[in-house]
Structure 1
Amino acid sequence: MKVIVVDDEQHARIRLKRLLENLTINDVDVFDRSVYALEFARKNRVDVAFLDIEMPEMSGVELAKALKSTNKSINVIFCTGYSQYLQDAIDLHASGYLLKPAEQASVKKALDNLLHPIEYEKQKFYAKTFGNFDFLVDGVPLHFKRSKSKEMLAYLISIRGASANRKELIAVLFGDKYDKQTQDYLTKIYKDLIESLDSVGAEKIVRKGFNTYSVNTALFSCDLYDYDKGDPNAINAYKGEFMSQYEWGII
């Protein structure tokens, strides 16, 4: 789900972005001016737009009209401190109208009842972990320049969104050889991994923190995660083999 937040008040932008992240929605871009948001939306797919209404240059209502002229299926959710614009929201077929300060429950409710349901992009990306590991894009395995880049992604997926530090990754990928050479090589592997994912629009699946790496499990589908949820199809698909090409592969 691609989300933008537009509000000229910094604290409001930060608060709403944090609420969305708490709902595991991490593909969020924030803007303090309507013109910047509109320019972004004209170049990128946007599923949901959270808009303040009273803003300089272009109001949230005007921005909503402009966004809808660009993308008829965009879901507009107004988040404002004023109730008198409700009729404007209705006339624009908005997906929601939240009064500030928005609470997480109201944000979730609005997202659960979007006027234009989203075909989640994560369905485009699929991690196959049973048997040999592959990362599929529209059913086609993604090619990696380095086999270790693919293995790094596989390991991060196997730990289900948890973070792995550099030392842990080097131990997995190279054994216990933790030195400058392996550290430099890990940097190259990560760079190749991001370039490979970026080539298909999946670069945000891998997240880098301070000396740590993880995957955003909300951005792709995975047979392992379905198995964990008790999905019958995933349970039947598991035949005792997990990421078979890697020595560390175990559920």
Structure 2
Amino acid sequence: MKAIIVDDEYLALESMTRLLQRFEVNVAGAFQDPREALKQQQSLNADVAFVDIEMPELNGLELAARMQAAQPGLQIVFVTAYEQYAIEAFELAAIDYLLKPIQLKRLDLTIKRLQARRADPTPEPEQAAAPMVCFFHHLSFQDAQGHPLTVAWRTAKARELLAYLIHSGDKTPSKEELLDRIWPDADPDKSITHLHTTVYQIRQSMKAMGIPLRLQYKEGRYHIDQCGTQVDVLAWEKAVREAAEAGDDGAMNRLLMSSYRGDYLETEDYMWADGERERLRALWLDHALKNASRLEATGASSDALSLYQQLQVRYPENEESYFGLMRLYGKLGNNAEVHQQYAKLTDMLSEDYGVEPSESIMQWFAQWNERKQG
């Protein structure tokens, strides 16, 4: 078992390292700075993180949410000197918590829980055994087992043409449309040659990779027959629709946090992708706002915290992410984070729009302050 430890106190960090080593746990990293732990966690690929809750700047609750957002399979064990967190905070998808000073018998129980979780993990939803074309973040390919496939593209235009034909779906772009989209500045006579050459390159590349995409040409129009090949965006949107209809908040949260790996072809400089990118962003935002609110209402604090955090990263202009975090941190008794979120919101709105937070947020904050002072 591989672990990382995060605690701003050096002596506590050293003590936990020695204790874990007694149980033959491989300590891959020990960090006093939680932000450094965030930077290195994926490269360390640990199974579990032992996280102190009370840390300045970035506390353990928020750190855990961010770590699990970046690495959903990471197990969290909170370490705290304050038992009240065990009542309110450990809804946060943590497998366990430890009270300082840590007792060997109690740590032994935690290690056994972790080992049992590794021996009998919750099965992932089954994926259809078919190759996948991925449009989230960038154009890429996976084989039927989910392993990445490397394509040696002859030209960048071959890559773009294939992406555009898949993007077109059931539509059948004409030769003229393709020339206008893919080779807008080329000499008309030469662009026809480019198109024919590129179509040949695509067919050869798909055949070499074993991806059963068929590029068809009929009556002056082109079409991609997927032949069982999946497209991640289409599969994601279908799964989101099904989760929404079933009211499955857990499945929806996984789809929003893990499956949506980045915006539609966000790293590709394809102007024709802008409309679909914004449509999917709006769809993600709508479901994320609704799901975060439901998760918060049902007490799933960890998932709600992670989703609001992701909302803030993707849509920093959206007030609800700040307000949601304020409410959650207020329930957890983390007063400093409530103030920090309110200050961030106030600064953002003032600098970008010259306005104040909405009346409902200002009223909530004023009432919350009064209760704390009273």
Question: Could you tell me the TM-score, scaled by structure 1's length?
Answer: 0.45
Higher strand content, 1 or 2: 1
Greater relative CO (CA pairs within 8 A, separation 6+) = 1
